[in-house]
Structure 1
């Protein structure tokens, strides 16, 4: 094989990258490519993405290669580059979103070999099937058992050399203002992974729900952009942490079988949603009057990230208490989260809404009970709702309007 284009998408790394490794092993020339496609929504993730691309370019250049960056339609730009380089194949990592699936179908119609490789998940989303029939697992626990015993592919090392032909236009990588102070890229991801697994992994099971302590890894943005291999991360985790990676795979295999997961109810329940623009906006801005909800929403606005327990609390407040359509929440989270991922975001929102894979569709999360259990001293609330800095722990979690307060926090339009 003479020339292969490696089309990067959600796999911005050189370590454990099966498509890149295969191209370097099989082709005389390798052309790494990323296309900034306006059809792919990226919300506020773009500056983080640009960090990831610059880091990937540096890694490839250190191996004698380069990262070519183009702007436009992904298929059209890839085929244009194939014409320029006489490439005979495109290697890429398989993905599950409806947009990725449409792109794959378009490539299949082009006069070029198109090969998909694993790497976005620990276990390929189409590998496991329930013994009782069906094309995917609908309940997590049986999937966890099957996933835990499933065969794993070997982790592949970073290629020593990437033989990219000279003379090709590299293309500019835009710059953007940092969001949330989080540095993107494989280098930052691997540094965080090493530090967290060394210093904090052992305490993960006990501390992961402590809102103020923030015992989570914060590796999810790096998984979202593929700066870390989920397979490599699973290999160095304990059961409590690996179970979270399994949840990620679970949602991906659901999205593989049900590509409209982000738009249609997976399990329609006949729910009648309310339309209340004022309440929606108060929720988005962290001005609902329920301190634990507002703290989570303000963390999201400030950092592009939110503690997982806070995600459950804020999502449940929107769909179970305000009775507002889960798609409103999905869109807001997807726009702001650095780890905004179609399968995970939609799967989790539908789980909370009772339209997804929860076996208890009427489950609710009482925000006051959750706050008192997971933020007993109110430290998390005070961190993100400074208006309540002087409120004692005995009262910090009380809904503001239910406490008989008026004016100040929150504004009058708030609905508790």
Structure 2
């Protein structure tokens, strides 16, 4: 039956919200923009593509795949509460998006901006394909980070290379206000493949956390209530485990970095200030990578290094068998939990790149294989920061694992937690088991130190001087 103006039935408007690293309904500009202004009878397709390109690029590690399965199930449940459902497709992302367009007649696709080389190439391919299909691609900044890369830049340059001036500008500009979760989502009746399950994934570390927005929001609320006030004093305490452990949820976008900044700021106090500073570090690395995408695999500031590579040393480092207990404890925590305390990350990275003088890319690859929060910007650029090829203004500093252990694990509780061979060694003696009497030492089943720290430091200094 014709409408009153004789034009016939109104066309049904369909938009696609393509989820990537924003697996949430709260404060999601991509989802809200796809819903905004839609008329009666319009629909949104919440789409996630299990992208074959991610696996081909080497990013599809088992720990992240298992955590992702939790995230997708949780996101689907949140969408269903609002009348929609998550549509999951499997294959090459541009091809699958175009198939959804063909099935629905959608004329807009909304997606979060990314900074990795892969995300940028994905956006370029999407834009070309959607232009040919006469479909608009809407790319939204400030979804993955609190402040979008490029939002603040120094005069005459395209990014900040030093954190402190970046942080001053970051605080002065401030982050956007969070958006409320939508109350209602009208789906388009599009079908997809079954949601992946954690049980399908092999080779998962036994202690990785449960993923998903609801878990992340509960963890954030608990942290703001009980943990953040102690953060300033205790965030480096290895045994105290006083960090938020929110990084996996931020990496997958189960939590909005902008919302976390606002909620932490409202909590107030020195702990909140120190915590927000860490969130700014996350943004800092994203803006560096956005401006210098080659830094994902190449030295940001080359030092002329001629890295050593002793596969036996690297294997011992990976296995947590270096003979330096605090280093080994951190590496074993990574293997078990898919996560490592931030102070531990600094220690093991310094040991690999400066004590063993091994290429930072070897360590970054191992971390990427295991970390649930294995983010290209933060992983690669933090490794470069420690190796002295990145943005650190003291590129030749070396962290001594013994002095670091005495400072951040004074009673040895962290080491005994993760290195059971040393569980019976009392007090701080656990950090130097080779000083025990020969008979006691032989019974531990723990290796001798693989390298002399003083000799290794001299080797590194000479190599950097030559470089």
Query: TM-score normalized by structure 1?
Result: 0.96
- Distance in 1 (CA, whole Å) between partners of 2:325 and 2:333 is 12
Secondary structure, counterpart of 1:261 in structure 2: helix
Residues 288, 410 of structure 1: 8 Å contact kept: no
State the Cα distance separating 1:83 from its structure 2 match: 0.9
For residue 125 of structure 1, the aligned residue among 146, 149, 172 is 149
- Distance in 2 (CA, whole Å) between partners of 1:31 and 1:235 is 29
- Distance in 2 (CA, whole Å) between partners of 1:32 and 1:354 is 42
Unaligned runs of 5+ in 1: none
State the Cα distance separating 1:80 from its structure 2 match: 1.1
- Distance in 2 (CA, whole Å) between partners of 1:284 and 1:258 is 29
- Distance in 2 (CA, whole Å) between partners of 1:389 and 1:171 is 48
Unaligned runs of 5+ in 2: 1-11, 265-271, 453-467
Q: What are the residue-to-residue correspondences of 1:144-293 with 2, within 5 Å?
A: 144-166=167-189, 168-177=190-199, 179=205, 180-237=207-264, 238-293=272-327
Secondary structure, counterpart of 1:146 in structure 2: helix
Residues 50, 173 of structure 1: 8 Å contact kept: yes
The C-alpha deviation readout for 1:337-396, integer Å capped at 9, x for no partner, is 011100000110000000000011101111100000000000000000000001122311
Q: Tell me the residue number matched to 1:33.
A: 47
The structure in which a higher percent of residues are helix is 2
Secondary structure, counterpart of 1:372 in structure 2: helix
Q: What are the residue-to-residue correspondences of 1:13-412 with 2, within 5 Å?
A: 13-27=24-38, 28-40=42-54, 41-43=59-61, 44-110=63-129, 111=131, 112-117=135-140, 118-131=142-155, 133-166=156-189, 168-177=190-199, 179=205, 180-237=207-264, 238-398=272-432, 400=434, 405=441, 409-411=445-447
- Distance in 2 (CA, whole Å) between partners of 1:10 and 1:329 is 24
Residues 63, 162 of structure 1: 8 Å contact kept: yes
Q: Tell me the residue number matched to 1:4.
A: 15
Secondary structure, counterpart of 1:71 in structure 2: strand
- Distance in 1 (CA, whole Å) between partners of 2:163 and 2:445 is 40
Q: Mark the structure with the bigger radius of gyration.
A: 2
The C-alpha deviation readout for 1:198-249, integer Å capped at 9, x for no partner, is 0111111011011000100000000000000000000122211000000000
Q: What is the alpha-carbon root mean square deviation over aligned residues? A: 1.7
Residues 149, 283 of structure 2: 8 Å contact kept: yes
- Distance in 2 (CA, whole Å) between partners of 1:137 and 1:399 is 44
Runs ≥4 residues deviating over 6 A: 401-404
| Mean Cα deviation higher: 219-228 or 35-44 | 35-44
Residues 143, 250 of structure 1: 8 Å contact kept: yes
State the Cα distance separating 1:398 from its structure 2 match: 1.2
